[in-house]
A and B are shown apart, each in its own frame.
Chain A
């Protein structure tokens, strides 16, 4: 299934895909976490026949019902449990930083005490990547640690 992504300047991002039934579905993820789910009109393909406005909580509840594994929400609750724990998703740049280098090259754990817990590549998650794991441009790296450590790790990762 192809998902099209369009930036909405000042609002967030809009995703759009065609369901197997032929219905086209649009989803706006706003910067403040709110979501708008819309079903496109078949006679006027640019407008929605209706939209559903979801709060962040509604959206994760719906995701659970739909059978998605809701990583972000679980991480969020983890962050509330451990005071001072910072979790950040860092997208690898096309060049510079640790792009096209292995995780071990960066010595992130020894230098900053932050940990790389997972890497997401092409929508597939790699949990607990080892030091030999090579980071590629566009990979999303999940880093955990104290706020300071995570921001240092970010510097190393993106250069």
Chain B
């Protein structure tokens, strides 16, 4: 079997179209750059996402390293990256986690959405963007990066802390909101009028709700069908199912990302455990490609005009996130220092802000959205992580007040 495959593969390469070599060389360079940056990120103790993004900015048109032959593959790879990111996010949570999250943190979810979405929306309107583009920017500023935050909580040994459940349940809440937000945006982006949009959005929400209900109900059956002791078969069936569901969701304008997320929720038990150990490397590779590709589509020269708005937005939404976190933590009886840590921990934005901005780029609605989102995520992914690391040293409002009092 292997020999056969080998011969086939050889023939494929030999008979490959003109330029295959160039594509492979370019992809090789891209992946090696990612590998190098990943190492740098690990050394510096910052998340790798902003570095991948920066690498994408530096490559391609207007950048230092031209990449164009492999761009088609990178585009598909980026799509796969989004599907895998969301699939694994769905796998992280059980449907019970979501139900529990909805029950206990819906109020914090609303405050979070209003406080952190509004600055993005207002800035969009002020810059003369359409309502749809401004709503996308609201999504970008609203959603914290559960990938970066969960990773850092682990790195800083903060899982046992009492405020950590508050942080995690806000992140869960945001992911639920995203499952409703993305299909609505997908509909609005097609260019429907507000009324048409409202109707279509209602349908989209109904589809998501139905899918969520089905995933709760038939989770065991789906998982059983997919289950296999062979890693190869398991990987093939889960990947196949994920692409199929994501593609169908995209065709139904619910957005591929949401389809993958719901599938992730549906898989449970042994299958979920196995996939969680099997899939992350694959997700990290394609996720990396996604961030690079996003950077590639942006001309770095477009960053300068949006740098100031991005910085402003970053400062404002960092403060609103801190406020949201502190409010949510105080409600469940966390002390002042814990409140401060909760607020700080919610600042990093990352993968999902990029996913949301990516929607707008594909639809081509606002040329400034991409550069602005890229600059914004670069600032808050790095800045937020550093703040999280030094949260204890910065002290927080309670400590500042004490110091002020003692100075008087």
Contact = CB atoms under 8 A, between A and B. Distances in A.
Contacts of B335: 44-46
Given A48-B157, A51-B160, A53-B157, A10 B341 contact: no
A7 interface: yes
B334 interface: yes
Contact of A8 (B146, B168, B273): B168
Contact of B161 (A27, A32, A37, A46): A46
Given A9-B97, A10-B92, A11-B159, A47 B169 contact: no
Nearest to B91: A10
B97 A10 contact: yes
Interface centre among B101, B273, B334, B337 (most CB of A within 10 A): B337
A157 interface: no
A132 B169 CA distance: 43
B164 interface: yes
Nearest to B333: A46
Interface centre among B162, B169, B273 (most CB of A within 10 A): B162
A9 B172 CA distance: 7
Interface residues of B, number: 28
Interface string A27-43: 11011100011101000
Interface string A70-109: 0000000000000000000000000000000000000000
A53 B158 CA distance: 11
Given A8-B164, A46-B334, A14 B100 contact: no
B351 interface: no
B150 interface: yes
Contacts of A32: 276-277
Contact of A9 (B160, B168, B277): B168
A69 interface: no
Interface in B262-320: 273, 276-277
B93 interface: yes
A6 interface: yes
Nearest to B338: A46
Nearest to B105: A9
Counting contact residues on chain A (CB < 8 A from B), the size range is 20 to 34
A46 B343 CA distance: 14
A145 interface: no
B21 interface: no
A10 B165 contact: no
Contacts of A40: 162
B169 A28 contact: no
Contacts of B146: 10
Interface centre among B92, B161, B335 (most CB of A within 10 A): B161
A93 to B, nearest CB: 13
Contacts of A45: 162, 335, 338
A48 B160 contact: yes
Contacts of B112: none
Interface in B327-350: 334-335, 337-338, 341
Nearest to A30: B159
A153 to B, nearest CB: 14
Nearest to A45: B335
Contacts of B93: 9-10
Nearest to A53: B157
A85 to B, nearest CB: 15
21 contacts: A6-B165, A7-B165, A8-B159, A8-B164, A8-B165, A9-B92, A9-B169, A9-B172, A10-B92, A14-B165, A28-B160, A38-B157, A40-B162, A44-B335, A45-B338, A47-B158, A47-B161, A47-B337, A47-B338, A48-B158, A48-B161
The 4 closest A-B pairs by CB, nearest first: A46-B338, A38-B160, A46-B162, A10-B92
Interface of A: 6-11, 14, 16, 26-28, 30-32, 36-38, 40, 44-48, 51, 53
